[in-house]
Amino acid sequence: MFNRNQELQLMKTLWRLMLPIALQNLLSAVVNTADVLMLGGVSANALSASSLAGQVTFVLNLFYLGISTGASVLAAQYWGRRDRSTIERIQGMSLRYCAVISLAFFFAACLIPDILMRAFTNDPTLIALGVQYLRYIALSYLFMGVSQILLTIMKSIGQTRVSAEITIACLLCNITLNAISIYVLFHKQVINSLRGVAGATAISRALELALCLVAIQIKRGIRVSPVDCLHTPEWLRRDFRKCALPVQANYLIWGCATAGISAILGRLGSEIVAANAMATTLRNLVIVGCNALGTAGSIHIGNKLGCGDLQGAKYAGIHIKNASLVLGALSGLMLLMLYPSVATIARIEADASSLFFQMVWINALYCIGKAYNSSLVGGIFCAGGDTRFGLVCDTIAMWCVILPLGLLCAFVFKLPPIVVYAVLCMDETVKLPFVAIRFRKYRWLQNLTRDRHTAE
């Protein structure tokens, strides 16, 4: 067990890593909340269409998350050894993978947006509006993949403040352009407002990439080399696949299940879709501290494991686990406190407003399990390369429990929409005891680094 000074040093280190990430996540959630509120003021259909069309971007982000998580796991550990050359190779390999995926989604959103929308709703109005949104948001895909990897590597080597500053600048740009589009240029014009919001996102993503490249030059961070992007040693590709593929599969399985949940809700009426968009956005706003704790913990534990300090990594994991429960409870309370203000500002229709109120209470409880599971599965376990557990856990919880129950409740038993929603939000509760047991086995305490010359 660590002494008091070591405990204070750990808290100081985690806080230094957490604060920029939390601010970055907070502003991102604030921007998303503002987008929902602004589009909700245009019309419920505009809000619902953008929410459903946004599921395509959500799926794309799952690919980015899988790749960036694999890159972050290895980069954080190699940064513990101060091996910049290997980190540059990891970055180049990740950029190559993201570029291929980004182009695939770009062409799909441009060429077959109607097919993509039909996967989430059968409402002709929502499909038509979503098609307009997708064709413009597709431009952002050309920049997102590259900037996400660059920001991930910055965080992994401790440059969390720089990555946060870049993201904050771009989010401020995004919300400003959104406000101009909705309230100035295209006031009360539904289609043009959706196009404007999507175009604002594309411009902001382009700015984000440009700032990342400038920051690398100014801060002398991990350089971007065409050679590293085109060629990666087999041993490093093998290590990357071992870390990234289970995470990638996990995100896709979880994400497809989440998209399935959206599809179920999308067939229960536009009111519940709009209420869900509001509730989910508000929930994402209050759990930014929990997400930041998991990210900061993953970086710190990765650094510890990379330099061989297994005891320090173990102690940090226990501290983060306990903190996640406290933050989860506080997030739930904050959600309940923010509800009256958000409900007043949003001014959504009466039916959606009633559903929103009930969803807030469900999500307040959801926050505790979400904070605990995301901090451990997405943070601590991944830091030590224990990435397969999350894949198994999410597959069973989402596809064997939640989705079958949700389908039965919605279309066989025809229960009220709010009951269906409550069932669909049980996934974190189902996973929680199994995550707790896995943590105590300490299989995540692994040093994944290699001596480069020996490996080659």
Per-residue pLDDT at 351: 60
Buried/exposed 106-127: b ≥16 CB within 10 Å, e otherwise: bebbeeebeebbeebbebeebb
DSSP string, 214-258: HHHHHHT-S---HHHHH---HHHHHHHHHHHHHHHHHHHHHHHHH
- In this structure, of 156-170, 324-338, 421-435, the range with the lowest mean pLDDT score is 156-170
**Long-range contact pairs involving 408-413 (C-beta distance under 8 Å, separation at least 24):** 410/264, 410/267, 410/268
- pLDDT band of residue 397 (cuts 50, 70, 90) is very high
Distance CA 267, CA 424 (A): 14
What are the residues whose beta carbons fall under 8 Å from the beta carbon of 154, sequence distance 6 or more? 160, 162, 163, 212, 215, 221, 222
- For residue 34, pLDDT over 80 is answered with no
Q: Please classify residue 48 by burial: count the beta carbons closer than 10 Å to its beta carbon, then call 0-12 exposed, 13-18 middle and 19+ buried.
A: buried
Residue 51 is which amino acid? S
Per-residue pLDDT at 371: 92
C-alpha distances in Å from residue 419, one per residue of 9, 84, 283, 426: 46, 52, 19, 11
How does pLDDT run across 257-282, given as a tens digit for each residue? 887 887 888 788 777 877 887 788 78
- For residue 455, pLDDT over 60 is answered with no
Per-residue pLDDT at 199: 85
Distance CA 146, CA 142 (A): 8
0.75 surpassed by pTM? yes
- In this structure, of 20-24, 250-254, 404-408, the range with the lowest mean pLDDT score is 20-24
Buried/exposed 383-396: b ≥16 CB within 10 Å, e otherwise: bbbbbbbbbebbee
DSSP string, 105-148: HHHHHHH-HHHHHHTT---HHHHHHHHHHHHHHHHHHHHHHHHH
Distance CA 295, CA 293 (A): 6
Over residues 445-454, mean pLDDT: 73
Q: What percent of the chain has pLDDT over 70?
A: 91
Of 102 and 346, the one with more pLDDT = 102
Per-residue pLDDT at 24: 67
Distance CA 245, CA 227 (A): 23
Buried/exposed 66-93: b ≥16 CB within 10 Å, e otherwise: bbbbbbbbbbbbbbbbebeebbbbbbbb
User: CB 58: neighbour CB atoms within 10 A?
Assistant: 14
Per-residue pLDDT at 355: 81
How does pLDDT run across 358-384, given as a tens digit for each residue? 899 999 999 999 999 989 998 899 888
- pLDDT band of residue 1 (cuts 50, 70, 90) is low
- pLDDT band of residue 350 (cuts 50, 70, 90) is low
Over residues 91-112, mean pLDDT: 91
- In this structure, of 198-202, 205-209, 389-393, the range with the lowest mean pLDDT score is 198-202
How does pLDDT run across 113-133, given as a tens digit for each residue? 888 888 777 778 888 888 888
For residues 77 and 156, the answer to whether their CB atoms sit within 8 Å is no
What are the residues whose beta carbons fall under 8 Å from the beta carbon of 25, sequence distance 6 or more? 288, 291, 292
Per-residue pLDDT at 435: 94
Mean pLDDT of the chain: 84
How does pLDDT run across 209-254, given as a tens digit for each residue? 999 989 888 877 678 888 878 888 888 888 888 888 888 888 888 8
Per-residue pLDDT at 405: 94
Q: Where in the chain are the domains?
A: 4-448
Quote the Cα angle for 41-45-46, to 5°: 60
Torsion angle (degrees, nearest 10) of CA 329, 292, 201, 75? -150
- For residue 442, pLDDT over 70 is answered with yes
Over residues 404-427, mean pLDDT: 92
- For residue 18, pLDDT over 80 is answered with no
Secondary structure letter of residue 208 according to DSSP: H
C-alpha distances in Å from residue 343, one per residue of 8, 165, 167, 199, 339: 40, 30, 28, 27, 6
C-alpha distances in Å from residue 167, one per residue of 28, 160, 436: 8, 11, 33
Per-residue pLDDT at 370: 92
Distance CA 305, CA 360 (A): 39
Per-residue pLDDT at 148: 87
- For residue 40, pLDDT over 70 is answered with no
The runs of H, that is alpha helices, within 376-451 are 382-383, 388-394, 403-407, 417-424, 427-441
What are the residues whose beta carbons fall under 8 Å from the beta carbon of 204, sequence distance 6 or more? 140, 170, 171, 173, 174, 177
- pLDDT band of residue 68 (cuts 50, 70, 90) is confident
Per-residue pLDDT at 346: 61
- For residue 330, pLDDT over 90 is answered with yes
